[in-house]
């Protein structure tokens, strides 16, 4: 198949959940299909990052996008029919780029990543699939519910209602919509009236997050897991990988594979279920949260945990440390580091060493949607996870067997204390979590499920009259 991906951000380096999902799907699909990519790219990002996608994409076109909203678009988002998250991505250069790449070439599938790009996919002559990482209207409404300031709460509520209207008007026109969870599928069906929906969950690289994984590659060496699975591989390494693929050379040895061990290509300390030395005394009981720290639900999560939950834990476990791991921390997140025994790392190239050292991984989310890659990564590494119900949405985990749930400060703190004090509980949760990811969340099997969705799209491309109408309306909006 010829598959065209449309993305709101360049999915490389895959350093947050959204990018990891898109990059992993492109990577897997490129093994059996021809993949092209048209993407917005923020002017603050490194143009050389494009090279990291060259091994997997036949064509890559990027459209520069400023990282701030113009006053005109903010006003349109406030008084116009469409919400700012949609208006902000209306761009004439993107229209021209899509017209150019589809001229004289027939794509079998167009996949739009997130609701923001839906406006472009329906204007193209191919069956269109919309990948909804979240139900955006629900995400905004939940975020509004966590706000105390009246204007912010009101604006978010208005934006959520506009997004819900947009979802009802747009999503039904796609050949298929994809959701990350069964909960999102049910909501999209009931609230937006969409019938053709497939659940394509988030996944995890089972090899990189395995007990045989390599923690410390030799100095100067680029770990394949870091380069290809979202831990900030360099653009130069991406070029070398592209050349290797074109020449038909074998892939580098995967971490932990028999070939890697026999070649001695990678060596170092291991982590994951088999590497947990539970009988050794810990200097501190580390509670780790992983996520991009300018994402509003993550900011709310760590603030709530720091203020409401962590003090309760410290009363029982004085040596507990809360470690916030993730790039782009806001000022509010940075200020949390002034509190006793709270650490804010900022961006790290590889989250696995931090997960390895965690006594437990905490996911205190009160807003958000989709499936939490942070939970899947922790489960795959055999770590005990304590989450809210919202945080664990979309994952087929059984509470008490695969992870623990706490939805108020007292319940959450109690579950964390249980995990810290009970070595056998930590071990059983870790083993069950690893088994769950092996059975349901490997990226290869997820990509094959997506291929079956493509096969069922059939002749469901938008009619030529509808395409022309969409393109005309968008051109007028960007005039």
Domain residue limits, the chain: 2-203+443-477, 224-270, 275-440
Residue 399's DSSP bridge partners are 403
Q: What percent of the chain has pLDDT over 70?
A: 80
pLDDT in tens, 8-64: 999 999 988 899 999 999 999 999 999 999 999 999 899 999 999 999 999 999 999
Whole-number pLDDT of residue 469: 44
Q: Please, which pLDDT band fits residue 460 given cuts at 50, 70 and 90?
A: low
Instruction: Give the lowest-confidence range in 69-83, 253-267, 345-359.
Output: 253-267
Report pLDDT for 284. Answer: 83
The confidence score (pLDDT) of residue 70 equals 84
pLDDT exceeds 80 at position 233: no
Q: What is the pLDDT of residue 65?
A: 93
Least confident among 36-40, 138-142, 457-461? 457-461
The residues with which 197 forms a beta bridge, in sequence order, are: 177
List the structure tokens of 47: 């143009």
d(CA 417, CA 469): 59
Of the listed ranges 121-125, 250-254, 380-384, the least confidently predicted one is 250-254
The pair of structure tokens assigned to 448 is: 């094959």
Region 228-257: what's the mean pLDDT? 42
pLDDT at 462: 55
Q: Rounded mean pLDDT of 364-384?
A: 87
Compute the distance between CA of residue 53 and CA of residue 230 in angstroms, rounded to an integer: 12
Q: pLDDT per residue over 52-96, tens digit each?
A: 999 999 999 999 998 778 888 888 888 999 999 999 999 999 999
What is the chain's alpha carbon radius of gyration, rounded to the nearest angstrom?
22
Range 270-294 average pLDDT? 63
Query: How confident is the model at residue 246, as a pLDDT?
Result: 44
Better-scored residue on pLDDT, 400 or 215: 400
Residue 219 predicted with pLDDT over 60: no
Asked whether residue 236 carries a pLDDT value surpassing 90, the answer given is no
What average pLDDT does range 389-406 have in this prediction?
94
* Confidence (pLDDT) at 370: 55
> What backbone phi and psi angles, to 5 degrees, belong to 171?
-65, -35
Mean pLDDT, rounded, of the chain: 84
Same fold flag, 2-203+443-477 and 275-440: yes
Q: What is the pLDDT of residue 48?
A: 96
Helical pair 296-304 and 136-145, crossing angle rounded to 10 deg: 30
Q: Which CATH class is domain 275-440?
A: alpha beta
Whether 359 shows a pLDDT value over 50: the answer reads yes
Q: What HEC string does 353-396 produce?
A: HHHHHCCEEEECCCCCCCCCHHHHHHHHCCCCEEECCCCCCCCC
Both structure tokens of 157: 């509520």
pLDDT, residue 401, reads 97
Fold of 2-203+443-477: Rossmann fold (3.40.50)
366 and 406 in contact (C-beta within 8 Å)?
A: no
């Amino acid at each position: 198949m010829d598959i065209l991906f449309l993305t709101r951000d360049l999915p490389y380096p895959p350093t947050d959940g959204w990018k990891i999902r898109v990059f992993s799907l492109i990577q897997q699909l490129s093994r059996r299909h021809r993949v092209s990519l048209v993407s917005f790219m923020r002017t603050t990002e490194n143009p050389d990052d494009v090279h990291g996608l060259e091994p997997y994409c036949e064509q890559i076109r990027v459209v520069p996008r400023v990282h701030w909203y113009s006053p005109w678009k903010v006003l349109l988002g406030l008084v116009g029919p469409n919400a700012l998250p949609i208006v902000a991505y209306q761009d004439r250069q993107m229209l021209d780029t899509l017209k150019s790449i589809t001229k004289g070439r027939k794509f079998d599938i167009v996949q739009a990543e997130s609701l923001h790009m839906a406006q472009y996919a329906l204007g193209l002559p191919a069956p269109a699939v919309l990948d909804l990482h979240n139900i955006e209207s629900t995400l905004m409404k939940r975020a509004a519910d966590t706000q105390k300031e009246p204007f912010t709460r009101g604006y978010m509520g208005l934006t959520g209602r506009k997004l819900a209207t947009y979802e009802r008007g747009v999503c039904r026109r796609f050949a298929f919509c994809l959701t990350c969870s069964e909960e999102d599928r049910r909501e999209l069906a009931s609230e937006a009236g969409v019938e053709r929906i497939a659940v394509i969950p988030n996944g995890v690289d089972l090899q990189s997050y395995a007990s045989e994984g390599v923690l410390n590659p030799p100095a100067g060496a680029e770990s394949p897991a870091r380069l290809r699975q979202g831990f900030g591989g360099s653009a130069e390494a991406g070029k070398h990988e592209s050349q290797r693929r074109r020449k038909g050379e074998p892939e580098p040895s995967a971490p932990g594979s028999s070939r890697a061990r026999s070649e001695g290509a990678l060596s170092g300390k291991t982590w994951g279920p088999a590497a947990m030395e539970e009988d050794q005394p810990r200097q501190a009981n580390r509670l780790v949260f992983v996520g991009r720290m300018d994402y509003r639900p993550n900011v709310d999560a760590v603030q709530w945990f720091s203020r409401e939950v962590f003090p309760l834990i410290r009363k029982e476990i004085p040596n507990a440390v809360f470690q916030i791991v993730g790039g782009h921390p806001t000022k509010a997140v940075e200020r949390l580091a002034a509190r006793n025994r709270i650490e804010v790392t900022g961006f790290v190239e590889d989250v696995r060493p931090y997960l390895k050292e965690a006594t437990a991984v905490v996911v205190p989310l009160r807003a958000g949607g989709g499936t939490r890659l942070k939970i899947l990564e922790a489960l795959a590494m055999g770590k005990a996870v304590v989450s809210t119900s919202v945080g664990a949405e979309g994952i087929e985990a059984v509470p008490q067997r695969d992870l623990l749930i706490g939805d108020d400060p007292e319940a959450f703190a109690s579950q964390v204390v249980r995990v810290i004090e009970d070595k056998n509980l930590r071990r059983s949760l870790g083993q069950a979590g690893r088994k769950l990811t092996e059975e349901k969340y490997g990226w290869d099997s997820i990509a094959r499920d997506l291929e079956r969705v493509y096969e069922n799209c059939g002749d469901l491309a938008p009619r030529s009259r509808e395409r022309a109408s969409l393109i005309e309306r968008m051109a007028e909006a960007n005039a």
